[in-house]
Amino acid sequence: MSWPIRSISLGVSGSWVPVFWIGLGLAALLAIWAYRAPVPPLPRAHRVLLGLLRFTALALLLLALFQPVMTVAAKSGDRPLLAILLDRSTSMNLPAAAGSDTTRRVTVAQTVLKRIAPALAGEFDLRVYGFGTDWAEIGRGEGGEWPPLPADQDATALGPALGGLLAERERRPVAIVVLSDGGANSGSDPITAAERGGVPVVAVPVSLDSTVVDAAIVECLVNRTTQLGQETTVSVTVESRLPIATRATVVLREGEAVVAQAPILLPAGVGRTGCDLQFRPAQLGVRRYSITAEGVPDEITAANNQRSFALKVTEERLQVLLLADRLSWDLTFLRRTLAGDRGLALTTLVRIAAGPGAFRPIGSGKLAGLPSRGGELTPFDCVILLGLDPSRLPAATTKALSAYGAGGGGILVAAGPGNRPLKAYEPGGPLSGLVPVRPESRPSDGGLVAPHLTPAGSIHPVTSLGEMASEADRLWKELPPMEAGQPVKVPLGGEVLVEGNGARGVVPLVVAGRTGSGRSLVVNGSLAWRWGFLLAGSGNDPTVHHRFWSEATRWLAAGNAGGQLEIDADQAVFLSGRRVTVGARLTSEDLTPIDDAEVRIEIAPAGGEGEARELALARGGGPGQYTGDLGIMPPGFYQLQGEPVRGNQRWNGQGEPFLVDRATVDGLDPAADPGLLRRIAQSSDGAFVAPEAAERAINEVVRRQLAIVHTREIPLWNHAGLFLAFIGCASGEWFLRRRSGLA
């Protein structure tokens, strides 16, 4: 963009202006005195020229000393660029107003565009962009008009669209017009983008109807795997906006067949209501289910009344062995949580007296006493060790546990209470090879620490809980503080998933890794009773408490499923319009993380719908970890396969399947949000106007912008031209003096 110069001014720092002018006057007097009566006498013209050269040199020297700045004022000479952002998300297909008027929001937006475009295009360089999951310029059709486009994008990324336009450095728009219902449910914050952009935004709401009648399924929680014929629970949350309390029904289907249903009472006003559905899977394999909320009258849309999920149905329940050193609240709450998971068959052994034979079973199970041979642990998919004291375990039991881990068994170590709860796993201890950490030989620092996810924990299947990273992080931060365990060091092969800030720095709280051929997990602190008791007493969300232990046992049980390459999507179910992200971890035969391989993955539809893709993963997240972004995937059921390559070495791995639901991000909240558009306009010094006043408001904002004189300050004191001019004047004076016989 060219900027014709309107004016140029020269100045120095305000407090030194009088001194500068005094110095300039003295320089003039010195030049006059020097050549008033030279010897030998000179012609008048020579004296004037020499005096001017002396004065100019002294003036240039003063300019350098007082650090002058030249201010250049300019005004745009180009045809100003005006950008229009047109919302193409699916919520734009909804009615613009409640009641009998069925005019769609997208129709209002296209009508406004058609009305204002001819006049604006004659005066400005007018560009129209559509935005939804992404943003792109819309080309003109025949006749120079912009064709009507469908509102078919499953999310509204208004922030990235504004940020992308404002990032243009070569030619930025003089103003941005937004035609939208105010939804913003994907990407960066649009208010921040508008505030930092320095360009006014004229926001034109196509709907002011922020109060709608609607019920939407916003959450559907279920384990990824279950067993054939076992009672399985699906927890459903419905968010509603209703004028009166309404009775509805939540229905679970497999295909067209109704599997389970439950009545639900939705409150008047805005609220969330939960219900649980129980059913027993009747077929093996990966099964797909749908949940619908039915019976809500006069909704603005029924598209958000349905959610889907996939469930892996196996033949038997996972066998879990729990060994505890004592009866404790940790044991009580942990057993209660595991026993509540119907996909697990729990065997519990606890020490009730002194001596190696003092471990006794609680309830039914596969063992009546401590195992003394590795073969006795073979039936178990996972072993949990809670607060074990090595002096109270027979040597045969520690040997059997070590053999179990080396042979591919999954081991979870929960530190439990005490000053050195991981003493048995310290270097040289009887169970030192079972954990992915090196406990230090000193007691715990004590105190409570608040847990929070690490970047690796936000995508790990144990701690991400099948949620988006931001949602998983929120759930973990809402947990009560836990008692910090023993100080530990995490070797290269371990991944810290959860940590907390203790008295002596960061404390690793949950660490994942491998033991021999199997997986291992350490919970470094006493948390089961605090989470179970305090969450139950406070009424807070127990999601993390229940799902953490459930996902941990399943992850440990699948220790050999992926070989040396472990690969999974970050969520079991993605809403349509959500970017699909995946992660992988690669280790060598001796469990050393491999960071320099080329990892390519293939994503193929497991059913009839979907789209196959390939992706090269990038390094990131931790040792041996790779991540990738598949972008927006169409609805379907997908299978993951990976093939890392390093030189002549190749590996293969297959991850758990994932589902992209037909339910959309945009459908979660169908209400218009004119308040957001108003805040965007205010933060950018723009305007918030009704559609009928859009053209006048746009012209006013643009005229205000074009009236702004753009200034640029150029420091002269350190400019090469100033130095060369001084040398030229001084040299010219010396040359003339020499020719005149004065030097």
Which distant-in-sequence residues (6+ apart) come within 8 Å of 120 by Cβ? 82, 126, 695, 698
Checking if the pLDDT of 524 tops 60, the result is: yes
Confidence tier at 108 by pLDDT (50, 70, 90): very high
CATH of the domain at 189: 3.40.50.410
Angle, helices 543-557/329-339, rounded to nearest 10 degrees = 70
Question: How large is the C-alpha radius of gyration of the chain?
Answer: 36
The DSSP secondary-structure symbol of 460 reads S
What pLDDT, on the 0 to 100 scale, is given for residue 561?
44
202 and 101 within one domain: yes
Structure tokens at 335: 């057993």
Q: How many CA atoms lie within 13 A of 465 on its CB side?
A: 23
Confidence tier at 565 by pLDDT (50, 70, 90): confident
Q: Where a domain ends, among 517, 549, 581?
A: 549
Three-state SS string across 518-580, please? EEEEEECEECHHHHHHHHHHHCCCCHHHHHHHHHHHHHHHCCCCCCCEEEEECCCEEEECCEE
What pLDDT, on the 0 to 100 scale, is given for residue 563?
46
Structure tokens at 109: 């937006």
Please indicate, yes or no, if residue 288 is contained in any of the structural domains. yes
132 and 107 within one domain: yes
727 and 702 within one domain: no
Checking if the pLDDT of 4 tops 70, the result is: no
Average pLDDT estimate for 161-188: 86
What pLDDT, on the 0 to 100 scale, is given for residue 191?
92
Taking all residues of the chain, what is their mean pLDDT, rounded to a whole number?
Answer: 82
Q: How many CA atoms lie within 13 A of 560 on its CB side?
A: 11
Average pLDDT estimate for 612-627: 84
- H or E, element range at 732: helix 720-739
468 and 356 within one domain: yes
Please indicate, yes or no, if residue 556 is contained in any of the structural domains. no
| Residue found under tokens 């090469």 | 720
Average pLDDT estimate for 578-598: 81
Residue whose C-alpha is closest to residue 461's, from 584, 342, 358 = 584
Please indicate, yes or no, if residue 560 is contained in any of the structural domains. no
656 and 585 within one domain: yes
Residue whose C-alpha is closest to residue 528's, from 702, 339, 281, 360 = 339
Among 66-80, 108-122, 294-308, whose mean pLDDT is lowest? 66-80
542 and 419 within one domain: yes
- Structural domain span for residue 619: 565-668
CATH of the domain at 263: 2.60.40.10
Please indicate, yes or no, if residue 456 is contained in any of the structural domains. no
Cβ count near 695 (within 10 Å): 17
Return d(Cα 565, Cα 135) in angstroms, integer: 36
Among 91-105, 425-439, 516-530, whose mean pLDDT is lowest? 516-530
Checking if the pLDDT of 46 tops 60, the result is: yes
Among 67-76, 294-303, 350-359, 691-700, whose mean pLDDT is lowest? 67-76
Checking if the pLDDT of 265 tops 90, the result is: yes
Q: Where are the alpha helices (DSSP H) in 478-516?
A: none
Return d(Cα 100, Cα 692) in angstroms, integer: 21
Distance of CA 738 to the CA centre of its chain: 76
By CB neighbour count within 10 A (0-12 exposed, 13-18 middle, 19+ buried), where does 740 fall?
Answer: middle
Contact assessment for residue 360 and residue 350, using Cβ atoms and an 8 Å cutoff = yes
Return d(Cα 425, Cα 393) in angstroms, integer: 13
Cross-sheet strand order for the sheet of 125-131: 135-137, 125-131, 81-87, 175-180, 201-205, 687-688
pLDDT digits (tens, 9 = 90+) for 696-708: 888 888 877 766 5
SS3 393: coil
Confidence tier at 60 by pLDDT (50, 70, 90): confident
Residue whose C-alpha is closest to residue 4's, from 86, 98, 58, 76 = 76
Confidence tier at 709 by pLDDT (50, 70, 90): very low
What pLDDT, on the 0 to 100 scale, is given for residue 347?
92
Return d(Cα 665, Cα 200) in angstroms, integer: 28
For the question of whether the overall pTM of this predicted structure is more than 0.75, the answer is no
What pLDDT, on the 0 to 100 scale, is given for residue 3?
42
Structure tokens at 694: 């859009």
717 and 681 within one domain: no
Contact assessment for residue 624 and residue 586, using Cβ atoms and an 8 Å cutoff = yes
What pLDDT, on the 0 to 100 scale, is given for residue 445?
72
What pLDDT, on the 0 to 100 scale, is given for residue 7?
47
Among 150-154, 312-316, 345-349, 572-576, whose mean pLDDT is lowest? 312-316
SS3 165: helix
Q: Where are the beta strands (DSSP E) in 94-195?
A: 125-131, 135-137, 175-180
Q: Where are the alpha helices (DSSP H) in 650-706?
A: 674-683, 694-706
Please indicate, yes or no, if residue 542 is contained in any of the structural domains. yes
Is the Cα dihedral 712, 717, 719, 723 positive or negative?
positive
386 and 513 within one domain: yes
pLDDT digits (tens, 9 = 90+) for 664-701: 888 888 888 999 999 999 999 999 999 888 888 888 88
Which distant-in-sequence residues (6+ apart) come within 8 Å of 425 by Cβ? 413, 431, 432, 434, 435, 437, 439
Instruction: Identify which has the larger pLDDT, 17 or 591.
Output: 17
What pLDDT, on the 0 to 100 scale, is given for residue 267?
93
Checking if the pLDDT of 657 tops 80, the result is: yes
470 and 356 within one domain: yes
What pLDDT, on the 0 to 100 scale, is given for residue 475?
78
Contact assessment for residue 430 and residue 395, using Cβ atoms and an 8 Å cutoff = yes
Is the Cα dihedral 92, 95, 96, 98 positive or negative?
negative
pLDDT digits (tens, 9 = 90+) for 445-473: 777 888 888 888 887 888 887 666 677 78
Angle, helices 543-557/528-538, rounded to nearest 10 degrees = 150
pLDDT digits (tens, 9 = 90+) for 109-123: 999 998 888 888 878
13 and 122 within one domain: no
Confidence tier at 712 by pLDDT (50, 70, 90): low
Which distant-in-sequence residues (6+ apart) come within 8 Å of 83 by Cβ? 127, 128, 129, 165, 173, 175, 176, 177
Q: Which long-range contacts (CB under 8 A, 24 or more apart) does 419-425 make?
A: 419/443, 419/444, 419/486, 420/444, 420/486, 421/387, 421/485, 421/486, 421/526, 422/485, 422/486, 422/488, 422/522, 422/524, 423/389, 423/390, 423/486, 424/388, 424/389, 424/390, 424/393
Contact assessment for residue 120 and residue 204, using Cβ atoms and an 8 Å cutoff = no
Residue whose C-alpha is closest to residue 332's, from 151, 526, 472, 157 = 526
Among 81-90, 341-350, 474-483, whose mean pLDDT is lowest? 474-483
Please indicate, yes or no, if residue 65 is contained in any of the structural domains. yes
Residues in the chain: 743
What pLDDT, on the 0 to 100 scale, is given for residue 201?
93
Which distant-in-sequence residues (6+ apart) come within 8 Å of 169 by Cβ? none
pLDDT digits (tens, 9 = 90+) for 211-259: 888 999 988 888 878 888 888 888 899 999 999 999 999 999 998 999 9
Return d(Cα 371, Cα 298) in angstroms, integer: 63
Q: Where a domain ends, among 314, 343, 370?
A: 314
For the chain, what percent of residues have pLDDT higher than 90? 19
φ and ψ at residue 180, rounded to 5 degrees: -160, 165
- H or E, element range at 334: helix 329-339
Among 1-10, 449-458, 582-591, whose mean pLDDT is lowest? 1-10
Average pLDDT estimate for 382-397: 82
CATH of the domain at 402: 3.40.50.880
Please indicate, yes or no, if residue 619 is contained in any of the structural domains. yes
Which distant-in-sequence residues (6+ apart) come within 8 Å of 140 by Cβ? 146
What pLDDT, on the 0 to 100 scale, is given for residue 702?
80
Q: Where a domain ends, among 283, 314, 345?
A: 314
Is the Cα dihedral 401, 403, 409, 410 positive or negative?
positive
273 and 299 within one domain: yes
Structure tokens at 539: 């009424």
According to the per-residue pLDDT averaged within each range, which of 187-191, 365-369, 387-391 is highest?
Answer: 187-191
Please indicate, yes or no, if residue 555 is contained in any of the structural domains. no
Amino acid symbol at 262? A
Which distant-in-sequence residues (6+ apart) come within 8 Å of 647 by Cβ? none
pLDDT digits (tens, 9 = 90+) for 27-39: 888 878 877 777 7
pLDDT digits (tens, 9 = 90+) for 75-97: 555 678 889 999 999 999 998 88
The DSSP secondary-structure symbol of 392 reads G
Confidence tier at 6 by pLDDT (50, 70, 90): very low
643 and 534 within one domain: no
Number of structural domains, the chain? 5
Query: Which string of DSSP letters, residue by residue, matches 8-47?
Result: EEEE--GGGHHHHHHHHHHHHHHHHHHTSS-SS---HHHH
What pLDDT, on the 0 to 100 scale, is given for residue 354?
67
Residue whose C-alpha is closest to residue 157's, from 469, 578, 575 = 578
Q: Are strands 232-242 and 214-221 parallel, antiparallel or unpaired?
A: antiparallel
CATH of the domain at 631: 2.60.40.1930
Instruction: Quote the Cα angle for 413-416-420, to 5°.
Output: 95
Instruction: Identify which has the larger pLDDT, 577 or 68.
Output: 577
Structure tokens at 438: 């090196």
Q: Are strands 505-515 and 232-242 parallel, antiparallel or unpaired?
A: unpaired
Return d(Cα 249, Cα 261) in angstroms, integer: 7
For the chain, what percent of residues have pLDDT higher than 70? 87
